[in-house]
């Protein structure tokens, strides 16, 4: 029963991909969607920094409205994750420190490390030069230290799993999901965060 539900979910995701993104290939699927494969055009501002090794993942796409994060390789979806939590005010792009919004736009994974508070942490390259200009225009600080991470673990993490808006703008995944992402994503991997 559970396997059938996962296949149905996979089929729905693939249909969405073929309509909205031009096609996908589910892991373990024998259907060839290569004729519909897509590629993400990364502008020079978010290309991988020099001296980074080739990643197991080409890029990451976050769809805030759908609470989904996908890892892409060779124009196909490699893995899809449900987002557990974002900021308390997730609608719209991040403008200033403390607005509790998750940034929107093209960034890259700028750092990764084990986190005492959140299992693992993959920091994104927020704020970009444009983010800094926007914040300066309003006379505020753009903030920083935004990334992908897990929960606090233990009883604190247990209660966090019931609140979809407990971060200050970061993207939180379940701890076993962040472990997988951490293993597959290298520093320098582009990430596109969509509304």
Write down the residue that tokens 């030069």 correspond to: 129
Closest CA to 190 of 58, 65, 95: 58
CATH number of 39-194: 2.40.440.10
> CATH 2.40.440.10 residue ranges in the chain?
39-194
Tokens linked to 128: 């970009």
Give pLDDT tens digits for 57-66. Answer: 999 999 999 9
Q: What is the pLDDT of residues 7-61, one digit of tens each?
A: 444 444 443 443 343 333 333 333 333 333 344 444 433 444 444 444 589 999 9
Query: Whole-structure pTM over 0.75, yes or no?
Result: no
Main-chain dihedrals φ then ψ at residue 34, nearest 5 degrees: -60, -30
Q: pLDDT (tens digit, 9 = 90+) per residue, 150-169?
A: 876 655 555 555 556 667 88
């Amino acid at each position: 029963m559970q396997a059938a539900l996962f296949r149905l979910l996979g089929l729905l995701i693939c249909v969405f991909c073929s309509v909205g993104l031009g096609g996908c290939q589910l892991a373990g699927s024998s259907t060839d969607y290569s004729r519909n494969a897509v590629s993400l055009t990364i502008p020079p501002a978010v290309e991988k920094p020099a001296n980074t090794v080739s990643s197991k993942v080409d890029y990451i796409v976050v769809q805030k409205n759908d609470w989904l994060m996908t890892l892409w390789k060779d124009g196909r979806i490699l893995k899809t994750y449900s987002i557990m939590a974002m900021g308390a005010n997730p609608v719209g792009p991040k403008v200033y420190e403390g607005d509790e919004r998750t940034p929107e736009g093209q960034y890259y994974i700028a750092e990764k490390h084990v986190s005492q508070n959140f299992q693992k942490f993959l920091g994104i390259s927020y704020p970009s030069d444009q983010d800094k200009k926007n914040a300066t225009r309003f006379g505020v600080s753009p903030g920083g230290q935004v990334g992908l991470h897990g929960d606090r673990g233990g009883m604190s993490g247990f209660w966090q799993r019931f609140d979809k808006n407990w971060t200050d703008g970061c993207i939180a995944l379940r701890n076993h999901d962040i472990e997988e992402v951490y293993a597959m994503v290298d520093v320098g991997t582009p990430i596109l965060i969509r509304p």
